[in-house]
Amino acid sequence: MFIKLSFVMMLCLFMGCASSVSSTKFYLLSALPATDQVKAMSDTAVEINVLALPQYLDRPQIVFRSNENRMKMAEFDQWGGNLRKNIMRTVSQNLMTLLHSPYITTIPQLPRLRTEFRVDIEIVQFERDAQQRVILNAHWSVSDKRVNPPKTITISNVLRSPPVLEQGNFDATVAAMSRLLEDLSHRIAANIQHRMKTP
C-alpha cells in the first residue's frame, strides 16, 4: 500500500513539473521587415562593436518593475535565448534594412570587414515599468573610422512606449520592446547617413 501511494505521489509530482515546463512561454525580439521597395544597395560597412546590458537584465526571465524600486521576474515568460545577443542581432538587422546595406557586422564575427563606422551601445534600462510602459534608456555612439583618429559622437536617449494593453501581457510587452529598438535603430541610421554626406 505504501509503495503504491508513493508511486502515485511521485507521478503527481512529475506531472506537476511537466505542466510547469510546458506552460513556460519563450519570446524573441523582432526586427524591421525587409522592404520590398527596389532601392540601390549601399556598400556602407558598419560594425556593432559593443552592446552592454545591465546585469539584472542578463537572465532568462523577462524582468519588469512593480514599482520604481522593485524588480520582478516572470518565471513562465522567458527569453528564447541570450537577451544581449538577441538585441544585437535585432539592431544589426534593423540597420541592414534602414541603410540598405548587407555589410552590417557584429563583434566577434569572422572574417572581419573593413568597416567605415563603429557603433557602441550601452543599455541602462530596458523593461516594463509600473505604469505598463516599456522604457529604453540607452547611451550610444557612432565612430567615423574614415578619419584618423576616428571621430566619435555620443548620444543618450530615453525612449518610452505607450502603456501596453494590460498588466501581464508579455506579447504586447515584447512587441513594445521591439518597437523601441526600431526607434533607436532609426536614430543610429540617421546619424550614419548624415555623416556619410559629410566629407
For residue range 83-97, list pLDDT tens digits in order: 999 999 999 999 999
Q: Are 188 and 142 in contact (CB under 8 A)?
A: yes
Q: What letters, b where the CB count within 10 A reaches 16 and e where it falls short, cover 69-82?
A: eeeeebeebbbeee
How much of the chain exceeds pLDDT 90, in percent?
A: 71
- Domain ranges within the chain, ordered by starting residue: 26-196
Looking at residue 1, its pLDDT comes to 47
Q: Which range (24-33, 52-61, 103-112, 185-194) has the least confidence?
A: 103-112
Reported pTM: 0.85
The verdict on domain 26-196 having CATH code 3.40.50.300 is no
C-alpha–C-alpha distance, residues 186 and 98, integer Å = 7
Q: What angle do CA 17, 21, 24 make, to 5 degrees?
A: 140
Looking at residue 68, its pLDDT comes to 86
C-alpha–C-alpha distance, residues 60 and 6, integer Å = 34
Q: Is 10 helix (H, G, I), strand (E, B) or coil?
A: helix
Looking at residue 47, its pLDDT comes to 94
At residue 43 the predicted structure's pLDDT band, cuts being 50, 70 and 90, is: confident
Which residues, 6 or more positions from 187, have their beta carbon under 8 angstroms from its beta carbon? 140, 155, 157
Answer yes or no: is pLDDT of 109 > 80.
no
Looking at residue 197, its pLDDT comes to 85
Average pLDDT over residues 64-77: 92
Average pLDDT over residues 44-57: 95
- Which pairs with CB-CB distance under 8 Å and at least 24 residues apart come from 18-27? 20/76, 23/76, 24/75, 24/76, 24/77, 24/78, 25/76, 25/77, 25/78, 25/170, 26/78, 26/79, 26/80, 27/62, 27/77, 27/78, 27/79, 27/80, 27/170, 27/171, 27/174
Through-space distance between the first and last CA atoms of the chain, rounded to whole angstroms: 86
